[in-house]
A and B are shown apart, each in its own frame.
Chain A
Amino acid sequence: MILKIALSIALLLYSVSTFLYLYRILKGPTTSDKVVALDSIGMNLVATVALLSMFYDTNAYLDVILLIALLAFIGTVSFSKFIEKGKVIDRERDN
Chain B
Amino acid sequence: MKTNDVLLRNVTKVVAFIIFLFSLHLFFAGHYNPGGGFVAGLTSAGAITLTLLAYDIKTVKSMLNMNTIIITAVGLIFVVGTGLLGVFSGKPFLTHLYGHVDLPVLGDTSLHTATLFDLGVYLVVVGVTLTIIQTIGESD
Contacts and interface: CB of A to CB of B under 8 A. Distances in A.
Contacts, number: 59
B123 interface: no
Given A71-B46, A77-B8, A95-B3, A89 B15 contact: no
Q: Taking each of B4, B26, B34, which has the highest tally of chain A beta carbons within 10 Å of its own beta carbon?
A: B34
Interface residues of A, number: 21
Interface of A: 60, 63-64, 66-67, 70-71, 73-74, 77-78, 81, 84-85, 88-93, 95
Across chains A and B, which 9 residue pairs bring their CB atoms closest together, nearest first?
A89-B137, A90-B56, A93-B56, A92-B58, A89-B52, A77-B53, A92-B56, A74-B50, A60-B34
Interface of B: 2-5, 8, 15, 19, 22, 26, 29, 33-35, 39, 43, 46, 49-50, 52-59, 133, 137-138
